[in-house]
Amino acid sequence: MTGTPPSAPYEPSGDRPVAGGGEQYPSHAGQHQNPEPAPVSGAPEPGPVPGRHQLPGLAGYPQFDGPGAAQYGSEPVEPPLAFTPQPGAPQPPAGYGPGTPQQLPPAGMPPGANPPPPGGLPPGAMPPPAGAPPAELAPKQGYTPPRETLDVGAALTYGWDRFRLNPIPWVGMVLIGMIAWLVVTLLVNMVDVQSLSAVVLLFAVASLVVWLLQAAMIRGALYETDGTPPDFPAFFGFVNAGNVLITALIVFALCLVASIACVFPAIIVGVLCMFALHFVIDQDQNPIAAIQSSVRLVVANALQVTLLALGVLIMTVIGTLLCGLGLLVAGPVTAIATTYAYRSLTNGLVV
């Protein structure tokens, strides 16, 4: 048998001559062909279809025709409205505001840090930390906040209120001081002391105990102004007992020298050194610096401190007239009131 083999079954059919004439497979549109639709009258001719790996044309991608005129496809997007400041409204700083690109911090600056000024930082200067106030709001160098005015009545009332809330440790401290002074007085009266040096030694020991107790009461009063009622061991929480004793000795010597001239100069020296132990215990100053700080503070607030000293003197006299028992209340109240005055005049903490 001879003849031409038939064509592949999936070849496109057409007018193909075969042996014996005629067509082996007639041409039918549909099964494996994409028929082309008939052109519509008046429609534009279709352009070339992009291939599989061919990027589309300009349509569908944002194009820019001039600054700020973004386009998507063939439809332009309206530009942003121009920023018009209102009369009297605060103006934004240069480099900020609507229509202005965001200024990013330089490389290496942590997020949230303030950007450098427009002119840049001076040589060797560090950028301001994150959250720091602007330069125009930062406190000026050498600025000192204004001192509060001292209300003598408020100081004494504060001393009484804090004492009545925690009376037992305060009464115990006053009793220790009274007992120490009575013991020394009885020894001088009962024992026949022939030499002056022995009397001076006894009173020096008594004064030492009284000074330490005074410093302990100031320590307790500082606890009260901090809002922490002290217990008995807390009164002896100071660690600079040496400076306390030296300061007290210097103040005692100054008062003694001033009393040789008259009693009034001794009172003035005592008032000027009223806060010396406070500066030693609270701020750990040396004796000379503490006395100088006390003098400056008293001179700067002479009227208020003088009224406070008069109030303390009146309460002490009244407590002494009540057979000394009134000192159990007057001593703690005046100690707390004096410490309240010290903290108020130095802008310290008062709770």
| CA-to-CA separations, 230 to 162, 171, 221, 264, 310, in angstroms, rounded | 11, 12, 8, 36, 27
Q: Is 350 or 46 the better-scoring residue by pLDDT?
A: 350
pLDDT in tens, 139-148: 444 333 444 5
What is the pLDDT at residue 17?
47
What is the pLDDT at residue 8?
47
How many beta carbons lie within 10 A of that of residue 335, not counting itself?
23
140 SS3 class: coil
Statement: residue 203 has pLDDT above 80: no
The span from the CA of 292 to the CA of 269, in Å, is 12
192-213 mean pLDDT: 76
Angle of CA points 107, 109, 110, to nearest 5°: 125
What is the pLDDT at residue 190?
77
DSSP label of 36: P
177: confidence class by pLDDT, cuts 50, 70, 90: confident
pLDDT in tens, 118-170: 555 555 555 555 555 554 444 444 333 444 578 999 999 999 999 999 999 99
93: confidence class by pLDDT, cuts 50, 70, 90: low
Residue 291, both tokens = 């006395």
| Average pLDDT over all residues of the chain | 73
pLDDT in tens, 18-66: 444 444 445 444 444 555 555 555 555 555 555 445 555 455 455 555 5
Asked if residue 160 lies in contact with residue 153, where contact means CB atoms within 8 angstroms, the answer is no
Residue 181 burial by Cβ neighbours in a 10 Å radius (0-12, 13-18, 19+): middle
* Predicted TM-score (pTM) above 0.85: no
What is the pLDDT at residue 170?
95
How many beta carbons lie within 10 A of that of residue 47, not counting itself?
7
Q: What's the one-letter identity of residue 123? A: P
Crossing angle for the helix pair 302-321 and 263-272, to the nearest 10 degrees:
110
What is the pLDDT at residue 91?
61
5 SS3 class: coil
Helices (runs of H) and strands (runs of E) counted in the chain: 9, 3
Residue 2, both tokens = 């001879």
Tell me which range, 50-59, 108-117, 213-222, is most confidently predicted by mean pLDDT. Answer: 213-222
Distance of alpha carbon 317 from its chain centroid, rounded?
45
Residue 242, both tokens = 């040496």
The span from the CA of 314 to the CA of 302, in Å, is 18
221: confidence class by pLDDT, cuts 50, 70, 90: very high
Residue 193 burial by Cβ neighbours in a 10 Å radius (0-12, 13-18, 19+): middle
What is the pLDDT at residue 212?
87
* Weakest-pLDDT range from 102-116, 152-166, 246-260: 102-116
Beta bridge pairs of residue 75: 72
Angle of CA points 224, 216, 155, to nearest 5°: 40
